[in-house]
Chain A
Amino acid sequence: MDVREWALIAFTILSQMAVGSFIILGIVYFFAARKWGEEEADRLSDRALLAIGPVLVLGTLASLFHLGNPLNAYRAIANVGSSWLSREILANVLFIGVGAVFAFMQWRKISTSATRNIVALVAAAIGVVLVFSMSQIYMLRTAPAWDTIATPITFFTTTFLLGALAVGAAYVANYAYVQRKEPGCADTQCEIMRSTLRWLALASVVLVGVHLVVLPLYVAYLASSDVAAANDAVNVLMDDYGVVFALRLVLVFVGAGILGAFLYRNASSPGREKILGNLAYAAFAVVLVAEVMGRFLFYAMQTRIGL
């Protein structure tokens, strides 16, 4: 592992988190606007929406450190016809572009909310294409440890898990801000935050379930494969990074499962905003570390058929 591989870890994690946050923020906004009205939904979401931008830009900048010849980086979209890497970069650029247009329109309340919704839906669809393209990059017919359905499943699980918990943490931070600056709105915002965090906690418990089912099945599948390169990948995972793999599973279970369950319970009854906030921050931090470790292992398991 050198700087170039860490650049890929940073890029894939940050952009998946950005896509997941954008989509989850949109879903929450949709329901919050129906129940509490657009103004309160805006108050809940707008600052979190603006926070996605820097995450995405940071990830994209990190990706440049992966390149041996970054001066040619603009050429990365030259082969959209056959390279999933080109498709990924194109989707990434489009997601930044359409996402930025939407964020600006939403911030300044330009045009009608119906029009803004359409722009947001387009950005969300591009985000899904981005994560899908990202997973297809690794599904090379010569890389058996990557060329499984587990790659897109884990990429999308990571996307929505990090998205849900990042948005949860953002709502908590947003509520603290609202309490200080607009105390008149704090009560409604508190109710929205609690209600939303409950759903996000539930989502993260379900998503960690997907991880904990898929990852062991995936390892068992590689271990039982006839292909030597697939077995080699399991050996790397178990022999070289067994502790990291165990820690990764434990941390994602603790972060999204246990802290998620506490988050759900504490969000169910009012008056526990302080502990709720701490839980949301902790769950996000622990899961972020677990997902970075998972992505590290994903790259460490790079083995190839042949020489």
Chain B
Amino acid sequence: MANQLAFYFDVARCTGCKACQVACQDKHDLPADMRWRRVAEYSGGEWARNQDGSFTQNVFAYYVSVACNHCDKPICQEVCPANAITKRDDGIVLIDEDKCIGCRYCEWACPYAAPQFDEDSGTMSKCTLCVDYIDAGQLPACVAACPSRALEVGELSELRAKYGDLAEVAPLPEAKLTEPAMVIKPNAKTKPVLAKAGRLANPEEV
């Protein structure tokens, strides 16, 4: 059994199509306004007028697809008063709805906005890494749906050996906060974590 399953995300390959997000909503039968996986758009840059009247620009935009990162230091589990959040041997972090009291403290704490409140049940919900598919040896819905193969799932140590250990880029939080099980491959325009060069362009979608 794997020690820590993790997502890998390739910034260069993502076109921002949100097939991952929609596949996730479909698989878990989520309402339209609940997104366990979301695609953040980070953009910025400006135009400068040159002496000769021509323009130079450094405008950029890229996407970061994020779900729950099944962190090594899951702050949601740390703060949950009801002990409703557990981490399996393979690293998957799960919320037990039967134990959840719906206090939404994990929602305040998680810097990835992974735990989301389900108005119908009054309890929290989040990405399960499609634990039923994983246990059946299949890929999670988001990974399987990505048309440009920007997402992968695998053992964290293997993903790191293959792609490096970057786990923080703008607009994500610093990895030291929760030690997310995630590997990111940046593209040429990807800004470092805490950069002020751009802004989250679609806050209403994440």
- Taken together as a complex, chains A and B put the C-alpha atoms of A77 and B84 apart, in Å, by 11
CB-contact partner of A306 in B82, B103, B113, under 8 A = B113
- Taken together as a complex, chains A and B put the C-alpha atoms of A22 and B173 apart, in Å, by 42
Q: A116 an interface residue at 8 Å Cβ cutoff?
A: no
Q: Chain B: residues with CB nearer than 8 A to chain A?
A: 38, 40, 66, 75, 78-84, 98-105, 108-113, 117-119, 121-124, 171-174, 177-178, 194, 196, 200, 206
Q: Is the CB of A66 within 8 A of B75?
A: no
- Taken together as a complex, chains A and B put the C-alpha atoms of A79 and B112 apart, in Å, by 22
Q: Is the CB of A68 within 8 A of B117?
A: yes
Q: Which of A46-86 contact B (CB under 8 A)?
A: 66-70, 72-73, 75-79, 82-86
Q: A141 an interface residue at 8 Å Cβ cutoff?
A: yes
Q: A142 an interface residue at 8 Å Cβ cutoff?
A: yes
Q: Is the CB of B100 within 8 A of A72?
A: yes
Q: Is the CB of A78 within 8 A of B111?
A: no
Q: A140-B108, A306-B111, A306-B173 known; A78 and B81 CB under 8 Å?
A: yes
CB-contact partner of A67 in B109, B121, B122, under 8 A = B122
CB-contact partner of A140 in B84, B109, B119, under 8 A = B109
If over half of B's interface residues share one DSSP class (helix, strand or loop), that class is named, otherwise mixed; here it is loop
Kindly supply a per-residue 1/0 record for chain A positions 273-307, scoring 1 wherever the CB is within 8 Å of any chain B CB and 0 otherwise. 00000000000000000000000000000101111
Contacts of B82 in A (CB 8 A): 72, 75-76, 78-79
- Taken together as a complex, chains A and B put the C-alpha atoms of A72 and B104 apart, in Å, by 13
- Taken together as a complex, chains A and B put the C-alpha atoms of A68 and B123 apart, in Å, by 6
CB-contact partner of B101 in A68, A82, A84, A226, under 8 A = A68
Q: A68-B122, A75-B84, A307-B38 known; A83 and B79 CB under 8 Å?
A: yes
- Taken together as a complex, chains A and B put the C-alpha atoms of A228 and B173 apart, in Å, by 11
Contacts of A70 in B (CB 8 A): 101-102
Q: Is the CB of A72 within 8 A of B101?
A: yes
Q: A76-B103, A85-B81 known; A304 and B122 CB under 8 Å?
A: no
If over half of A's interface residues share one DSSP class (helix, strand or loop), that class is named, otherwise mixed; here it is loop
- Taken together as a complex, chains A and B put the C-alpha atoms of A105 and B50 apart, in Å, by 84
Q: A142-B111, A307-B66 known; A68 and B104 CB under 8 Å?
A: yes
Contacts of B109 in A (CB 8 A): 140, 142-143
Q: A205 an interface residue at 8 Å Cβ cutoff?
A: no
Q: Is the CB of A85 within 8 A of B105?
A: yes
Q: Is the CB of A304 within 8 A of B81?
A: no
